Chains A and B, each alone.
Chain A
């Protein structure tokens, strides 16, 4: 699934990185705990979080996230946006809650799988 597809599924607003949305997502991670993100994620993942501090972007950068989605309608502070810009990490924002966002993404992933299966 591409970042742009997730944006569509979640009616997300792109706060930064409109031209970086063509990347393919291989892993997803949803957490409000940066310690967890540092422990469990794999390079090239898509981060879903309700935290909006600049440290979130720092953590995402260091752990190799390809995009960050802020849930629950939160806006990141300017400091977080500045960091994201310098590391070319797209920033998305959705009004949906964390659980609903994850549910929609999973539904999207299942649909892709189903479509692929029908091809063969």
Chain B
């Protein structure tokens, strides 16, 4: 079953095989023999190292031939296994230069039906600097795709540290975050940090959840509808969490209409992400204990949501 998701997946690998250089992918420590080696010596080495072929190099590391498992089997078959390889080896060796992309290696694997290629220092050179195999390429691709996930994971874990720092340094703190319009990848970070912060303070889970959702909806609103804005979160003396979102515009023409569940002005792009169902503002209003919104086409939108933390002062 091929649908759009697999296209996306394939396109990532597609980009990568053009981006990654053979130099970064090849095995640099490789086994080679001189022209005086016998088939027997090579056969033992192939078995020991579990490889399927070795290049034959001269004293200057220039390639003069290659011996594969197939050649060794033929040598067994034809009964010259103890002989010198020089007269039997494949002399026209397909190579690939190290500054090419791995797509070049893949194309040669297909075209010449080989599983490994000696890598030369540069095009038209005979000096061998490494060996590249299909499994080298697979390993590299796996490593790179996983590191994309790893990077996001690490960034996310930093948020935990940020909220831990807030707890340590400021028992009653004031967060201030800047959000820009159209930056969907970052939307939700404020909510995530805020959630961790209040969770770390031991606030009731349901209340933490309401604060997090309010933050998230406010962030998404800045992201979807405005040209950029600021979110602040603070705790007042009566232990209320106050979430404020100020954006620079363009403002809401009819606030009552915007507060109607289901009313939306979101773009198709936003809806494709699963947002923009016209539930944002109604949702914030619903989850907040107190809710204020002001908007003008001149100064942008100012939203304030107050959530009681459900703790008394002496507990703090």
A binds B: yes
- Is A55 close to B, CB under 8 A? yes
Which residue of B is nearest A31, CB measured? B274
Whether B148 pairs with A58 at a CB distance below 8 angstroms is: no
Whether B149 pairs with A85 at a CB distance below 8 angstroms is: yes
- Please name all residues of chain B whose beta carbon is closer than 8 Å to the beta carbon of A75 when the two chains form the complex: 5-6, 9
State A96–B179 Cα separation when bound (angstroms). 38
Q: A62-B188, A86-B153 are in contact. Are A55 and B273 (CB under 8 A)?
A: yes
- Is A54 close to B, CB under 8 A? yes
A/B interface sample: 24 pairs, CB < 8 A: A33-B274, A35-B278, A36-B279, A39-B279, A39-B283, A49-B274, A55-B184, A55-B273, A55-B275, A58-B188, A58-B192, A59-B188, A63-B213, A64-B209, A78-B12, A78-B149, A79-B149, A81-B149, A82-B148, A82-B151, A82-B152, A86-B154, A86-B157, A95-B1
State A74–B273 Cα separation when bound (angstroms). 15
- Is A32 close to B, CB under 8 A? yes
- Is B231 close to A, CB under 8 A? no
A21-47 interface bits toward B, Cβ cutoff 8 Å, 1 = contact, 0 = none: 000000000001111101100010000
Which residue of B is nearest A70, CB measured? B5
Q: How far is the CB of B312 from chain A (nearest CB, A)?
A: 23
- Please name all residues of chain A whose beta carbon is closer than 8 Å to the beta carbon of B145 when the two chains form the complex: 78
State A34–B276 Cα separation when bound (angstroms). 9
- Is A52 close to B, CB under 8 A? yes
Q: A61-B192, A64-B209 are in contact. Are A55 and B149 (CB under 8 A)?
A: no
- Please name all residues of chain A whose beta carbon is closer than 8 Å to the beta carbon of B195 when the two chains form the complex: 61-62
- Is B8 close to A, CB under 8 A? yes
Q: How far is the CB of A43 from chain B (nearest CB, A)?
A: 6
- Please name all residues of chain A whose beta carbon is closer than 8 Å to the beta carbon of B280 when the two chains form the complex: 35
Partner of B279, one of A38, A78, A79: A38
State A32–B188 Cα separation when bound (angstroms). 18
Which residue of A is nearest B216, CB measured? A62
State A54–B189 Cα separation when bound (angstroms). 12
- Please name all residues of chain B whose beta carbon is closer than 8 Å to the beta carbon of A83 when the two chains form the complex: 152-153, 156
- Is A56 close to B, CB under 8 A? yes
Which residue of A is nearest B212, CB measured? A62
Which residue of A is nearest B146, CB measured? A78
State A27–B151 Cα separation when bound (angstroms). 32
- Please name all residues of chain A whose beta carbon is closer than 8 Å to the beta carbon of B192 when the two chains form the complex: 58, 61-62
Whether A74 pairs with B5 at a CB distance below 8 angstroms is: yes
Residues of A that sit less than 8 Å from B by CB: 32-36, 38-39, 43, 49, 51-56, 58-59, 61-64, 72-75, 77-79, 81-83, 85-87, 95
- Is B131 close to A, CB under 8 A? no
Main secondary structure, interface of A, reads helix
Whether A34 pairs with B273 at a CB distance below 8 angstroms is: yes
- Please name all residues of chain A whose beta carbon is closer than 8 Å to the beta carbon of B176 when the two chains form the complex: none
Whether B277 pairs with A43 at a CB distance below 8 angstroms is: no
Which residue of A is nearest B276, CB measured? A35
Q: How far is the CB of A34 from chain B (nearest CB, A)?
A: 4
Which residue of A is nearest B194, CB measured? A62
The 10 A-B pairs at the shortest CB distance, nearest first, are namely A82-B152, A86-B156, A35-B277, A34-B274, A82-B149, A58-B188, A35-B279, A78-B148, A82-B153, A78-B149
- Please name all residues of chain B whose beta carbon is closer than 8 Å to the beta carbon of A64 when the two chains form the complex: 205, 209
The A-contacting residues of B in range 175-222, CB under 8 angstroms, are: 184-185, 187-188, 191-192, 195, 205-206, 209, 212-213, 216-217
Whether B216 pairs with A38 at a CB distance below 8 angstroms is: yes
- Is B150 close to A, CB under 8 A? yes
- Please name all residues of chain B whose beta carbon is closer than 8 Å to the beta carbon of A95 when the two chains form the complex: 1
- Please name all residues of chain A whose beta carbon is closer than 8 Å to the beta carbon of B156 when the two chains form the complex: 82-83, 86-87
State A56–B274 Cα separation when bound (angstroms). 8
State A55–B216 Cα separation when bound (angstroms). 11
State A81–B188 Cα separation when bound (angstroms). 16
The A-contacting residues of B in range 276-294, CB under 8 angstroms, are: 276-280, 283, 286
